[in-house]
Amino acid sequence: MRTINRRTALSALGTLSAGAAAVALAGCTPPSAATVGKRKKDVRTITVGSKGFAESWIMGELYAQGLRALGYQVDLKTNVGSSDIISAALTSGQIDVYPEYTGVILVSFMGEESLMDSAEATYDLAGKWAKGNSIRMLKATPFENKNAIAVRREFADEHSLAKISDLQGIGDFLYSTYPDNVTGAQGYEGIVESYGLDNMELKTLSIGLNYQAIERGEIQAADVFTTDPQLLRSDLVVLDDDKKLFGFQNVVPLIRDDAYAAMDDDAPAFLDTLHSLLTLEAIQALNEASAINRIDAAQVAKVFLKDNGLM
């Protein structure tokens, strides 16, 4: 999963966050009664976290700005770090809520070897982990963002490709992924093994370069993420993961129990509403605004919340 691997540049930060867990909120001041005067409970500042990539930044901004619109005092910490780091930050109280992918909870936090064969089952299993760790897990998004293999349409037509197993026996072809995603069950090696794709040769490329490479025909297949906005514009076919190798990756808000208890009901209600609106089409549009139009995540989130009457 990209959330675990891709951010080598920020690994230093990750280590920092882990160490900071106990004290990181030292600099935050609880809001005075006046700032949140309309709240009946004594609600302290809600600290929202996000991981180190664009989709997570957008999610973080959506949470933060939506909660602010409800009158909460919100502190947003973007780029907190990889899954391990950010979950440690959550349990230690450094942050109160952050968006996580259900499949990541299974693989990274529960150490599950095999993935569930449905999004529902994945969600339920993740929920058990959350309960055991005093974390409240709210509703998942309709969209999921997981690894997938995309090929050029002419290449798909030429070899009648619809699912990953169709790649077997079509002759040697070039597949690209980012350097961190070569080993592991869901990496290049895992795909080759699970699907028996001895004819799939590897070319590692930095994230963001694989779309250019496949458009130019330098490679025939590319590792992509299902919410990548480039899929909307490039003439690519996403192959079906018929062996369910990549699992299910819907996004859920994880809220530490005590932080959840400190919220009024409108906060989880907002998050549920927000999540219900995040369809694949919606998130791809948001990601497109961010990754293609290069609009700042805060701006992207603001427009979406406004257009959907959430602020």
State the residues that interact with other proteins by CB under 8 A.
6-7, 9-10, 12-13, 15-17, 19-20, 22-27, 52-54, 57, 76-79, 94, 119-120, 123-124, 127, 137, 139-142, 206-209, 250, 252, 272-273, 275-279, 281-282, 285, 288-296, 298-300, 303-304, 306-308
Give the closest residue to 225 by CA, choosing from 166, 304, 141, 287: 287
Please, which residue, 24 or 161, has the CB nearer to other proteins? 24
Give least dist CB 220 to other proteins, A. Answer: 22
Give least dist CB 50 to other proteins, A. Answer: 9
Please, which residue, 220 or 250, has the CB nearer to other proteins? 250
Residue 222: burial class (beta carbons within 10 Å; 0-12, 13-18, 19+)? buried
| Cα separations in angstroms, 192 against 169, 173, 243 | 12, 12, 12
Give least dist CB 159 to other proteins, A. Answer: 29
Q: Are strands 236-238 and 200-204 parallel, antiparallel or unpaired?
A: unpaired
Spatial CB neighbours of 272, under 8 Å, sequence gap ≥ 6: 138, 139
Please, which residue, 161 or 289, has the CB nearer to other proteins? 289
How far is residue 229's CA from residue 152's CA, in Å, rounded to a whole number? 16
Please, which residue, 200 or 236, has the CB nearer to other proteins? 236
Please, which residue, 80 or 151, has the CB nearer to other proteins? 80
Please give the helix or strand (H or E) that residue 38 lies within, else none. none
- DSSP helix/strand/coil, 252: strand
The single-letter DSSP state of residue 163 is B
Please, which residue, 120 or 235, has the CB nearer to other proteins? 120
In the structure encoding, which two tokens stand for residue 16, read together? 């920092």
Please, which residue, 75 or 264, has the CB nearer to other proteins? 75
Give the closest residue to 208 by CA, choosing from 61, 58, 26, 54: 54
Spatial CB neighbours of 242, under 8 Å, sequence gap ≥ 6: 163, 164, 165
| Cα separations in angstroms, 224 against 81, 116, 178, 191, 216 | 21, 21, 10, 13, 16
